[in-house]
Amino acid sequence: MRTVHQDGHVGWLITSHRLAREMLVDDRFSARSDLRRSAVGESSGALMAPPLPGQFISMDRPEHTRYRRLLAKYFTSNRLEQMTPWINDLVAAQLDILVRAATPADLVAQFAMPIPSMAICELLGVPGNHRELVQQINYGYSMADSVDERNGYISRLYGYLSQLIKYKRLSAGSDLLVEIIADNPELTDEELLQLTLGLVLGGHETTANMISLGVFALLEHPDQLHAMIADPANDHTAVSELLRYLTVTHIGLPYRAALEDVDLGGAEVRKGDTVTVALPAANRDRDAFTTPDELDVRRTAARGHLAFGHGAHRCLGQHLAELELRIAYRQLFERLPSLRLAVDATQVPMRTFATIYGPRTLPVTWDAGTTGPQELPSEVAS
């Protein structure tokens, strides 16, 4: 689909699953920020700034490859599976907090938002007495109503992470940030700051909204919820289907700029044109998925979804996000089998203003006496 923006530059929107995959592995389309035009604020239509050192999500090869390889070894599925016991304890602890809350409770603030924030804090080795601050910043950033407000939270996060990096340069330990510094002494503070900022932001907002939105969807599809809970061995497939069906990154990403004239699916994309993938549309493409508008937690083909992107820029934290989602969904519904919405579904306020989609709040309730007390794990409580 070809569009002409207000400033006259041409943009293309891909809704095809096949063409999205083709474009995202084609080096003739660049991820560099300074080849794209801003879509927000007073700078709308203007070319964006070049990527900062370490901001590899907005880079092409070979710069992107260098930073990506530097981090990839810390995000393998085998390494992250070692975090499973800790994430199990984290989710159980957050459930204890939720259960002790008065009902109706807000599942977003009291469950979905804290889990990925605390997980990335654990991964990076954020000191325990600092984690509430990071969680507050993450929550504020996710819920901000304007670009200026979001930038304010980014500035606060910049300030905190800058100090954390200085501290970690002088620290011993086994956390991710200490390891990155030890393994890559050539990295500057600016590079480390951008890498760490990307991990914090990328590791929180999408997963947090996916937790709450997935719960919302399952409560609205009780047959699918029952099918998922009845078959723990199928959790990987169920989470893949939720990611496909919901696709929380719903506008603006991923986008590329054509480095030369390219024929893409019979369309002539000219050098300099911007190309954006409509991920929700691609994930509901009838040529890729049968009955794509239906939620089917047994859909094995869902593992071909594009919710994490595709190709060299595929989300680095995919395995961590999937692990958190699997544990969060299963523990929540097993611990609170009577969980239900406390308001009509039409009254749930949604984040329609943001790149990442999800509920602003999700009021839920459950029947008293249907939960069992669990001791708060000491390593999480501290």
Using one digit for the tens of pLDDT, what is the confidence trace for 137-175? 999 998 888 889 999 999 999 999 999 999 999 988 889
Q: In terms of pLDDT, which residue wins out, 2 or 237?
A: 237
* Mean pLDDT, the chain, integer: 90
User: Which CA distances in Å does 176 have to 79, 125, 132, 300, 363?
Assistant: 11, 7, 19, 33, 35
Q: Given a cut of 90, is residue 96 above it in pLDDT?
A: yes
Predicted confidence at residue 374, as pLDDT, reads: 42
Q: How far apart are the first and last CA of the chain?
A: 53
Predicted confidence at residue 18, as pLDDT, reads: 97
How far is Cα 260 from Cα 270, in angstroms, rounded to an integer? 6
Mean pLDDT within 2-27 = 81
Predicted confidence at residue 173, as pLDDT, reads: 84
Predicted confidence at residue 80, as pLDDT, reads: 81
> What count of other Cβ atoms lies within 10 Å of the Cβ of residue 178?
17
- Record the tokens describing residue 50, joined without a space: 């070049």
Predicted confidence at residue 40, as pLDDT, reads: 47
Q: Given a cut of 80, is residue 239 above it in pLDDT?
A: yes
Q: Read out DSSP for 11-35?
A: EEEE--HHHHHHHHT-TTEE--GGG
Predicted confidence at residue 375, as pLDDT, reads: 37
Q: Which helix H or strand E contains 209, and what residues bound it?
A: helix 205-220
Strands 105-106 and 29-30 come out as unpaired
Q: In terms of pLDDT, which residue wins out, 274 or 36?
A: 274
The burial class, CB within 10 Å (0-12 / 13-18 / 19+), for 9 is middle
Predicted confidence at residue 48, as pLDDT, reads: 74
Predicted confidence at residue 353, as pLDDT, reads: 72
Among candidates 291, 272, 258, 287, which has minimal Cα distance to 19?
287
Q: Which of 176-180, 361-365, 373-377 has the lowest mean pLDDT?
A: 373-377
The pLDDT tens digits of the residues spanning 48-89 come to: 788 999 999 999 999 999 999 999 988 887 888 888 999 999
3-state per-residue secondary structure call for 286-335: CCCCCCCCCCCCCCHHHHHCCCCCCHHHCCCCHHHHHHHHHHHHHHHHHH
Q: What predicted TM-score, i.e. pTM, was given to this entire model?
A: 0.91
Predicted confidence at residue 376, as pLDDT, reads: 33
Predicted confidence at residue 20, as pLDDT, reads: 96
Q: Given a cut of 90, is residue 227 above it in pLDDT?
A: yes
Mean pLDDT within 348-363 = 90
How far is Cα 67 from Cα 54, in angstroms, rounded to an integer? 7
Q: In this prediction, what percent of the chain has a pLDDT beyond 70?
A: 90
Q: In terms of pLDDT, which residue wins out, 16 or 43?
A: 16
Q: Which helix H or strand E contains 163, and what residues bound it?
A: helix 147-169
Mean pLDDT within 218-241 = 97
